[in-house]
Amino acid sequence: MIFSVALKAQEYTSPVFPKLGKADTIRVGSTNDNGVMIPWMQLNEVSIFAARIWKSPAEQAAYNRLRYNVLKVMPYALFAKRRYEQLERDLLTAPEKKEQKALVKQCDNEIKDMFNREIKDLTITQGQILTKLVDREVGRTTYDIVKQTKGGFAAFSYQIVARVVGHNLKSTYNKDEDRDIESIIRTSGFYQ
């Protein structure tokens, strides 16, 4: 107490704003960095993909086939996602079991009418990719969707038919295992 020492606390300086021009009318967020206002704005995510190096021409041909198959069935998976979400919303608003069955039947008929010829022309490989993409988009396996909408017996029957041709309706999508499919989807432009 005998000695007095002059202590300086933090000094307040008013922020320095950048000089505005004639056409500077866009309002953006800013950060105060030691009295200097730094404008910033959020940019869209940018993905950078390196050119892929192939071990052999056969590996490149297999990837090109996979790319063709994924791009062919991706619109069906996106339609299934939209239609299934709409069906779930409709089922929540329908209080009676009879109305719910009518909505499920209407959805089933709509899908059959719209894609009957096209889905029948898919190869087995494209069907396998489609079930994985439906799981990716909807978050549930094809078997679970059929079981919920059509019942357990129908799901079991469809699973038996699928197993005969070497397919599984319970197959799930895993980003790590299916990384080629994931990279094809990301670079294809389906999600902008």
pLDDT tens string 97-142: 888 888 888 887 777 776 667 777 888 888 888 888 888 888 888 8
pLDDT tens string 26-69: 777 888 888 888 888 888 877 777 788 889 999 999 999 999 99
DSSP string over 74-118: HHHHHHHHHHHHHHHHHHHH--SHHHHHHHHHHHHHHHHHHHHHH
Every domain of the chain and the residues it spans: 59-188
How far, CA to CA in Å, does 45 sit from each of 48, 122, 154, 180, 191? 10, 34, 43, 20, 12
C-alpha–C-alpha distance, residues 138 and 53, integer Å: 33
Query: Is the Cα torsion angle 109, 115, 121, 126 positive or negative in sign?
Result: negative
Specify the pTM: 0.68
C-alpha–C-alpha distance, residues 104 and 100, integer Å: 6
SS3 40: strand
- How big is the CA angle at 126 (ends 125 and 128), to the nearest 5 degrees? 65
Q: Dihedral (C-alpha) 158, 159, 165, 168: value to the nearest 10 degrees?
A: 130
